[in-house]
Amino acid sequence: MLLWVSLLALASVSGQLATAPKPVISIQPPWTTAFQGESVLLTCNGVPINSPQETTWFYENQGSQTSSVTPGNTRVVQETGNYQCQHSGSSLSGSVHLIFSAASLILQAPLSVFEGDTMVLRCLRRPGSALKNTTMYKNQEAQAPLCDGSDLRVHGAMLRDNGWYHCKADKESCCSVVSNPVKIQVQELFPRPRLTASPSQPPEGSPVTLTCETQLPPQRSDVQLWFCFFREGQALGSGCSSSPELQIPAMWSEDAGSYWCQAQTVTLSVMKESLRSYIYVQRAIPSVQIHTRPPKESVFEGQELVLVCSVRGVPGPISVSWYKRPKLHLATEIPLSQETEFRISTVKSSDAGKYYCVANSIRSTEVTIHMKVPVSRPVLTRMPRGSRALEGDEMTLRCEAQRGSLPIQFRFFHEDALLKETTTVTSWRASSFHFSLTAEHSGNYYCTANNGLGPQRSAAVTLSVHVPVSRPVLTHMPRGSRALEGDEMTLRCEAQRGSLPIQFRFFHEDALLKETTVTSWRASSFHFSLTAEHSGNYYCTANNGLGPQRSAAVTLSVIVPASQPVLTLRTPGAQALVGDTVELHCEAQTGSPPILYRFYHDGVTLGNSSAPSGGGVSFNLSLTAEHSGNYSCEADNGLGAQRSEVVPLSVTVPASRPILTLRAPGAQALVGDTVELHCEAQTGSPPILYRFYHDGVTLGNSSAPSGGGVSFNLSLTAEHSGNYSCEADNGLGAQCSEVVTLSVTVPASRPILTLRAPRAQALVGDTVELHCEAQTGSPPILYHFYHDGVTLRNSSAPSGGGVSFNLSLTAEHSGNYSCEADNGVGAQRSEVVTLSITGLTGSRGGHVTTGVTGVLLSLVGLAAVVLLFYYWLPGRAGGRPACDASSSSSHSDPQEPTYHNVPAWLEMQPVYSNVNPKEGDVVYSEVCRIQGRNKCAAGTTARLPEDKDSSVIYSQVKVTSTSGSRSQLSASSAPHR
What pLDDT was estimated at residue 228? 93
The span from the CA of 802 to the CA of 774, in Å, is 7
What pLDDT was estimated at residue 943? 40
Q: What is the mean pLDDT of the chain?
A: 80
316 has a pLDDT exceeding 70 = no
Average pLDDT over residues 170-178: 82
The span from the CA of 924 to the CA of 959, in Å, is 9
1 has a pLDDT exceeding 60 = no
User: Which of the four pLDDT bands, split at 50, 70 and 90, describes residue 213?
Assistant: very high
What pLDDT was estimated at residue 871? 54
Exposed/middle/buried for 835, CB within 10 Å: 0-12, 13-18, 19+? buried
What pLDDT was estimated at residue 791? 93
> H/E element holding 445?
strand 443-450
User: Which of the four pLDDT bands, split at 50, 70 and 90, describes residue 362?
Assistant: confident
Residue 329, CA distances (Å) to 320, 351, 353, 360 in order: 22, 14, 10, 24
8 A C-beta contact, residue 375 and residue 453: yes
What pLDDT was estimated at residue 932? 43
The span from the CA of 755 to the CA of 911, in Å, is 13
Residue 854 or residue 141, greater confidence = 141
906 has a pLDDT exceeding 80 = no
Q: Determine the longest span between alpha carbons in the chain, in angstroms.
A: 225
Q: Where are the strands (E) in 11-50, listed by range?
A: 24-28, 33-35, 40-45
What pLDDT was estimated at residue 868? 62
- DSSP helix/strand/coil, 843: coil
Average pLDDT over residues 527-555: 91
The span from the CA of 879 to the CA of 865, in Å, is 20
The span from the CA of 907 to the CA of 885, in Å, is 14
Average pLDDT over residues 258-285: 87
The span from the CA of 606 to the CA of 598, in Å, is 8
251 has a pLDDT exceeding 60 = yes
Strands 394-400 and 379-383: antiparallel
Which among 725, 724, 694, 687 has a CA at the least distance from the CA of 709?
687
Out of 212-226, 414-428, 712-726, 934-948, least confident range? 934-948
- DSSP helix/strand/coil, 857: helix
C-beta neighbour count of 549 within 10 angstroms: 18
What pLDDT was estimated at residue 332? 64
What pLDDT was estimated at residue 372? 79
Q: List, for residues 545-600, the tens digit of each pLDDT value.
A: 888 999 999 998 888 888 899 999 988 888 888 888 999 999 998 888 889 999 99
Put simply, whether the predicted model's pTM sits higher than 0.75 gets the answer no
In sequence order, what are the beta bridge partners of 680? Answer: 659, 709
* Backbone CA torsion sign across 571, 572, 578, 581: negative
C-beta neighbour count of 762 within 10 angstroms: 25
8 A C-beta contact, residue 769 and residue 804: yes
Residue 178 or residue 888, greater confidence = 178
